[in-house]
Amino acid sequence: MKSAYLPPVLHVTPMTIVRRDRTLPVPGTVTARLNERVQAVDVIAEAETAPRHVFLDLARGLGVPAKEAPSHLVRQKGDRVEAGDTIAGPVGMARRTVRAPADGRVVAIEGHRVLFEVRGEPIGLRAGMPALVVGSDGTQTVTLEVTAALVQGVWGNGKQDFGVIRTLGSGPGARMQTDMLDINLRGAVLIGGTCDQAAPLHQATELMVRGIVLGSITSDLIPAAQRLNYPLMITEGFGVLPMNSAAYGLLTSNVGRDVAIDARPPADRYSYQRPEIIIPQPPSRQADFPEEIIPLKEGARVRILRAPFHGAVGVVRDLPNKAADFPSGLLARSANVEIEGLGNRMIPLANLEVIQ
DSSP per residue, 228-272 = -SS-EEEEEEESS-PPPHHHHHHHHTTTTSEEEEE-PPPSSTT--
Residues forming CATH 3.50.30.10 domain(s) in the chain: 9-46+125-280
Residues forming CATH 2.30.30.140 domain(s) in the chain: 301-355
59, 95, 115, 293 from 69: Cα distances, Å:
5, 14, 14, 69
pLDDT tens sequence for the chain (356 residues): 455 778 888 899 999 999 999 999 889 999 999 999 999 999 999 998 888 899 999 999 999 999 999 999 999 999 999 999 999 989 988 899 999 998 999 999 998 999 999 988 889 999 999 999 999 999 999 999 999 999 999 999 999 999 999 999 888 999 999 999 999 999 999 999 999 999 999 999 999 999 999 999 999 999 999 999 999 999 998 999 999 989 999 999 999 999 999 998 776 555 567 899 999 998 876 778 788 888 888 988 988 888 888 888 889 998 888 888 888 778 888 888 898 888 888 889 888 989 88
Query: Quick one: which of 1, 78, 7 has its CA closest to 295?
Result: 7
Q: For the structural domain made of 9-46+125-280, what CATH number should be given?
A: 3.50.30.10
pTM: 0.79
CB 36 within 8 A of CB 15: no
Task: Please give the class, per CATH, of domain 52-118.
Answer: mainly beta
On the 0-12 / 13-18 / 19+ scale of CB atoms within 10 A, 252 is middle
Of the candidate CATH numbers 1.20.1740.10, 2.30.30.140, 3.30.450.20, 1.10.150.120, the domain formed by 301-355 belongs to 2.30.30.140
